Structure formats: C-alpha cells, structure tokens
Chain A
C-alpha cells in the first residue's frame, strides 16, 4: 500500500517538502548562517545578500535564520497538537463506537457539547483562562479538537464493528484488545491518516494565528506567525517582510493537505486492486 504512495509524484513532493522542512528545523543551528536573535538596528530592512540570504527585519535580524528556527515551534508544536488530539480522539471514538450503549451515550454527549462551541473562541477563552503561553495553546487545541476526531473515528468504528471479520473474531473469543488493535486500528488508519494530515495543516495555521495575535509564541522567539505579526507593522513600507513567512505557511499547510489526500488514496485497499 505504501508503494502506491511512493509512486505518486504529488505525494512524493509533499513528503519531500515536509521532510525537508523538518530536517531544516532540526538542524537549524547548523544550517542557519546567523544568530536569529542578534540584532543590528543600523542594518534593518536590508535586502538579500550573501550574509543575509533573505534580508533582515525591522531589528536587523537575519530573516532566513529566523525562518529556520521558526520551524521548530511551528512544525513540532503542531505535530504535538495533532498527536495529542489523535490519541485522545481515537481512544474516545473507538471506545464509543465499539462498546456502544451507555459509554457511547456519555462520550457522544460530551462531544456534542464540545462541538457546539466555535473552536477559535474556545481556544481564546482557554488561553485567557490559563494565561498566554504556547503550552496553553497546545492544550486548548487538543481540548477543542479531540471531539471532532472522536466523532469521525466513532462512525468509522461502527462501520467496521458490523463487518463479518469482526463478528467472527468476537464469536471465537479473541479479546477486545486484540480486535481493537489488530482489526479496528488498521481499518480506520486510512481515515485517521487523512484526518491527521489535514489536521496538522490546521494546527500549523492555528499556532501561527495565535502567535500572530500575540497569544502563542512570545516575542523574541522566532515563529512564522509571530514574524508575520511583526511584519504587518511595516506592511506598507516594506511589504516583502510578510512574503517570506506567508509563503512558508501556505506551502507547508498545502503540503500537509495534499499529503492527506494522497494518503487516503494509497490506504484504500480497493484502490490498490485496480
């Protein structure tokens, strides 16, 4: 099934972008030409040069280095958000969908409550409550997003609980744990992969948005959303400041979304047959 994925040029391109971004983020200290915090106010808004490949910002810091260091909070915090959301959502969704009955009712009513709030507002509320900190943003995102996952996973689980192979497993007495981990999880993996990659895109946007609003990553730390925020002050005089982080966010989010589509196609066993 994964071979299918590796034959798809779009998927390869997206994976390449994500992987490259991740590597650049991990090895930022080695790759970055300058210290992202070193400011040189006299050299502000400098154009691209050998020393500053993408120029400098309003404090004369190297934009390229800041972009590289900015990958860490952007990408890794959104992956963390996604893992947390998926973990919670899958556990809740599978439990509700497989055991049904009272457990299902309780979980789904909680989910209904969660889903009836607009997510951005809840995140703002939680951050306001817990204090402005990137950790709280991650917690708030997980808190609001798991319900959405739980609902999707539950539907998928119900679909598979009535499949004959699950009925057979139950009738011969394979344990619930075995059924859930060996039959259910791989079956919903396709749905999960799609949700996950789409959601990573959402999480990146979310973290950038909140940083842009000044609620996420705080000022001197480089982060794409925060960089956009700083650049917006000089939007009229130096519009090129917004372009670099803007394009980076668009490309990365787009890569994740497209990867989601390709993953879905590749993980569908029926598609392999054709």
Chain B
C-alpha cells in the first residue's frame, strides 16, 4: 500500500493587517490555522468553505506559490518548500498542476492557445530532457478536453468562458501531472457548462489516473465529483467526510449550516423534498 501522494501538515499562514491599530503595529491576521490533509493516489478531495475562509490561500500554499509560516507540504514525500537538486525540483513541478477560478486572467491575452499550452510543453521538455512534437501534443491535449485542434491558433478572447476553461485544463494536463488543483475552476461557468466540465474531469480522472484537489464553495459540484470532503471555516478544517454518501450525517454545526443553507439535501425529510428535486435537476442537466 502506497502512502498518500500529497500530504500537508499543520499549515499556518497569516498576513500583516493593513489597518494597524497602533503606528508601527505588527498585528497579523491568521488566515490558515493548522490545516492538515492528505490526498491519496487517484482520489478527489473536495475542500469547501465560505468566502474568505482561506481556501484559495490553502491552494496557493499547496501549489508552491506561498510559503507557509509553519507546516510542510509533501508531494511523494518531498517537501515542496525544501531545498532540492535539479531532478527533484523537476519532479515536484511536474506532479502538481493548477486551474484557477477566474479564467479571464488565467491566460495571457497576448498568447495564442498554441503558446498557452506550449508553455507547459516547454516545461515538460525541460523535465524529460528531450524535444517533443509540440504541434501533436497540443492537438492531443486539446482533444482530451474536447476541443478541435483548430483552436490552437485562437486568442483567449476569441473563446467562450467554457472553452477557455477547457484550454486551462488542457494546459494543466500538458505537463502530465499526477494531481490537479482546481481552485473554483467551474464556479464562474453556467450550470450546464459546469456539468460538462465536471464530466470531463471525471473522464480524465478515469483515463489518466489523476488525483484532484477540488476547492469550491458549491456543494452540488462536490457531491457530483468528490470522494471525500473537508469543510473549512475561518482557516480550520472543521469537519471531514470520508465517504461522500454519508454527507448528510455530518455533525459540526458550521458544516451542517452550510449543508442546509446551500443545499438543503434531505437532511430533514419533508422540508428537504423540494430542494432535493432541484438538486437532482441541476445535476442532471
């Protein structure tokens, strides 16, 4: 039995407050207060929480963009903020890829799709140390996300939101990662596109054996996609659900509140009927 592919232990992050009470004050706002989580090979872990609970900050920590004040993040046992030789470094960058919420700023407006994906391919070339047939690989990943290869010549503003988000997923896939971090990757799309993208993600996971870290504030997509869920509130994980089918059994008041307010999934029968029907409809379309 292999250990988890990604582990985070006791991550703490704080930012300096902008409005200090005293001149030269050093007050800090604690954003993450000791988060620990583990992601197994091939699973999808959902992280849910309200706005400002520190989800994106956690995402930034996990993909190596923000060094936490305390705690470690390990991918395959390698500390991503530690010192590494060239090969380990390459392996680290190679393992995790990210898709952001705001697709409008996710792609350089001056790059064609070909170059957007080409950047990932360039990194991959450096890692494997040999030239790739970029044209073919680009067409391949575009096909994987369900886009025709003729899109390679387009600019981001010539694509719709859903198409651009697919390009972002293609770009994330192009470095052949083991884990993809999706930070609200589908939240800014409309309902039917959301389902399409989620189906795509499920499909890719099956065919490529990917693991997902799925950050969202939307429970519908979590229940659709994830195996396990962690509820975040105020920088802490307040509740974990290890089997998505038992999501109705959670106890923590905050998580329950979230569950009831956002979803109203049959927590109490009778009152939840209506909402459940809605949810089913949303999931089906």
Within 8 A of A (CB), among B23-54: none
A273 touches B157 (CB 8 A): yes
Give the docked Cα–Cα distance between A267 and B44 (Å).
42
Contacts of B92 on A, CB cut-off 8 Å?
A: 173
Partner of B105 from the list A163, A174, A270 (CB cut-off 8 Å) is A163
Smallest CB–CB gap between B10 and chain A, Å? 22
Chain A contact-residue range equals 20 to 34
Contacts of A163 on B, CB cut-off 8 Å?
A: 105
Within 8 A of B (CB), among A158-192: 163-165, 167-174, 178, 182-183, 186-187
B123 touches A174 (CB 8 A): yes
- Cβ-based interface call for A269 (8 A): yes
Residue-wise interface mask of B (47-64) relative to A, using a CB-CB cutoff of 8 A (1 in contact, 0 not):
000000000000010011
Given the interface contacts A165-B105, A167-B65, A167-B100, does A172 sit within 8 Å of B123 by beta carbon? yes
Closest B residue to A183 using CB positions: B108
A164 touches B110 (CB 8 A): no
- Cβ-based interface call for B90 (8 A): yes
Closest A residue to B120 using CB positions: A172
Contacts of B155 on A, CB cut-off 8 Å?
A: 269
Give the docked Cα–Cα distance between A165 and B111 (Å).
11
B93 touches A165 (CB 8 A): no
Closest A residue to B177 using CB positions: A172
Contacts of A164 on B, CB cut-off 8 Å?
A: 100, 102, 105-106
Give the docked Cα–Cα distance between A186 and B64 (Å).
25
- Cβ-based interface call for B107 (8 A): yes
Give the docked Cα–Cα distance between A169 and B111 (Å).
13
Given the interface contacts A186-B110, A187-B110, does A171 sit within 8 Å of B97 by beta carbon? yes
Contacts of A186 on B, CB cut-off 8 Å?
A: 108, 110
Closest B residue to A170 using CB positions: B65
Residue-wise interface mask of B (83-98) relative to A, using a CB-CB cutoff of 8 A (1 in contact, 0 not):
0000001101110111
Within 8 A of A (CB), among B170-197: 171-172, 175
Give the docked Cα–Cα distance between A163 and B109 (Å).
11
Within 8 A of A (CB), among B71-126: 89-90, 92-94, 96-98, 100, 102, 105-111, 116, 119-120, 122-123
B110 touches A172 (CB 8 A): no
Contacts of B100 on A, CB cut-off 8 Å?
A: 164, 167-168
Contacts of B107 on A, CB cut-off 8 Å?
A: 165
Contacts of A273 on B, CB cut-off 8 Å?
A: 157
Contacts of B109 on A, CB cut-off 8 Å?
A: 269-270
A172 touches B93 (CB 8 A): yes
Give the docked Cα–Cα distance between A165 and B107 (Å).
5
Smallest CB–CB gap between B24 and chain A, Å? 16
Closest B residue to A1 using CB positions: B110
A168 touches B110 (CB 8 A): no
Contacts of B63 on A, CB cut-off 8 Å?
A: 171
B93 touches A169 (CB 8 A): no
Contacts of B175 on A, CB cut-off 8 Å?
A: 172
Closest B residue to A163 using CB positions: B105
Give the docked Cα–Cα distance between A264 and B171 (Å).
30
Contacts of B102 on A, CB cut-off 8 Å?
A: 164
Closest 6 CB pairs of A and B: A173-B93, A164-B106, A164-B100, A171-B63, A269-B109, A165-B108
Listed A/B pairs (20) with beta-carbon separation below 8 Å: A164-B105, A164-B106, A165-B105, A165-B106, A165-B107, A168-B100, A170-B65, A171-B63, A171-B64, A171-B65, A171-B96, A171-B97, A172-B93, A172-B97, A173-B93, A174-B119, A174-B123, A269-B110, A269-B157, A270-B109
Add 15 more A-B contacts to A168-B172, A187-B110 (CB < 8 A): A164-B105, A165-B106, A165-B111, A168-B98, A168-B100, A170-B64, A171-B65, A171-B96, A171-B97, A172-B119, A173-B92, A173-B94, A178-B119, A187-B108, A269-B155
Could you list which residues of chain B lie within 8 angstroms of chain A, going by C-beta atoms? 60, 63-65, 89-90, 92-94, 96-98, 100, 102, 105-111, 116, 119-120, 122-123, 155, 157, 171-172, 175
